[in-house]
Amino acid sequence: MASENLTLESIRPNIRQPRRTFYQESLEELASSIKERGVLQPIVVRPIDPVDGAKYEIVMGERRFRACKLLGLPTIPAIVRNLTDEDAAADSLLENLQREDMNPIEKARAVQALLQFMSWEKVAKTLGVSETTLRRSLELLELPIQIQNELIQRPGVGEGSFTEGHARSLLALREDAAAQLRLVQKIKGEKLNISDVEKIIGAIQKFPQKKEAFLKVPVAVTDQMLRSLGAREERQKPYRSQTADQHLKNIEKTSISLSDMLDDRIGEFLSAEQMNQLLATTADLQRELEAFNTKLRDQITNKDFGFREVYIHCPLCGRVELVGSLRCSVCWTVLRRCYDCGNYDRAFEKCGVTGAKVYIADAEAPKEHSKSYKCPMYKPKFEALAVKLKMAG
């Protein structure tokens, strides 16, 4: 169909145009191209009853029309088609949907408009997508209008991008618009990726009582809170006996790592505020340990009538253990040696209590069948350098 040059004053934009966002810099780039090369593709218009001097309405090509106005051109090449309101709306919507630079909200609104005069099946077939894709697109319109507008706007200076993926994540909080809006600001301010947002939302859903904290703290702190809250939640569940051995190993490994880090020289290089934070952290850990140790003592006392809280040194690696431990948990050396017992008579190589013969070789390196291995009368010769933790009264 041949085109003709129409005056810009005789043309008006389509009031049902799905594209509502026209970025100024983008229009200026198009205007620069038109100034140099002209309008390469005519716009499409349809005749209408004259309104304020306009005799035609744009069906396709409003960006080209706006760019020509920006340049002050008197005319623009156009193809005139006689289209009904429905046909004009469909053509305009379809033309815009095929453009890659149309934002997801405009696309969703265009699909919504097409569904007013087309079936789901026809819209899906026309656009070459599945009905599921159409429904996913419309889901974005369930978000508060402020969030929809965030998807349309470009990020400000220093802000992170707010993308369709971010917006879809927020759909999980449909019933909490206030939290959705605060998350948008958090996404932009902290430049969060989609995975970060999903983590925060998951945390809010799992621990709603901590929602305010999750909305305020950095993602790294969210990870720490989740580990702590998860551990507390795990402790509320029935304990599986098969996990006890692994649990013990993990505690011992962590204890060694923490002990290695306890270097009081750190205080020389911290500010007063940082030192207060560190002391609060270690004091909280101490309270947790005191409570744990009290429960552990009660359990040992209830299970072992002969329990004595006496600490001894491993003769090989120096690890401090309770006298109730048969072997060192680090190097697996037998702990209760007659050689280290205050009741052992080295000169006569015998037990000073029972008079039983215990040769030096056996006293220094007892085997599992040795008398000293599980001797209930073991008496440490030297006091171990360990501090017994006591609960505050």
pLDDT, tens digit (0-9, with 9 covering 90-100), for 308-363: 788 888 888 888 888 888 888 888 888 889 998 999 999 999 999 999 999 999 89
- pLDDT higher than threshold 90 for residue 68: yes
Structure-token match 């169909």, residue found? 1
Largest CA distance in the chain: 126
| Average pLDDT estimate for 357-383 | 85
| Residues in the chain, overall count | 393
Structure confidence at residue 389 (pLDDT): 46
Q: Which tokens sit at 331?
A: 């190097």
Number of CB atoms found within 10 A of residue 196's CB: 19
| Average pLDDT estimate for 286-312 | 84
Number of CB atoms found within 10 A of residue 259's CB: 8
- CATH placement of domain 4-102: 3.90.1530.30
| Lowest mean pLDDT across 17-31, 59-73, 136-150, 298-312 | 17-31
Structure confidence at residue 17 (pLDDT): 64
- How much is the mean pLDDT over the chain? 86
Structure confidence at residue 172 (pLDDT): 95
- pLDDT higher than threshold 90 for residue 132: yes
- Spatial CB neighbours of 137, under 8 Å, sequence gap ≥ 6: 104, 107, 108, 111
Q: Which residues form the catalytic set?
A: 62
Structure confidence at residue 391 (pLDDT): 41
CA geometry: angle 95, 100, 104, nearest 5 deg: 90
Query: Radius of gyration of the chain from Cα atoms?
Result: 39
Structure confidence at residue 392 (pLDDT): 40
Confidence of residue 178 (pLDDT cuts 50, 70, 90): very high
- pLDDT higher than threshold 60 for residue 393: no
pTM: 0.57
| Contact criterion met (CB below 8 Å) for 46 and 59 | yes
Q: Which tokens sit at 217?
A: 């703290």
- pLDDT higher than threshold 60 for residue 56: yes
Structure confidence at residue 276 (pLDDT): 92
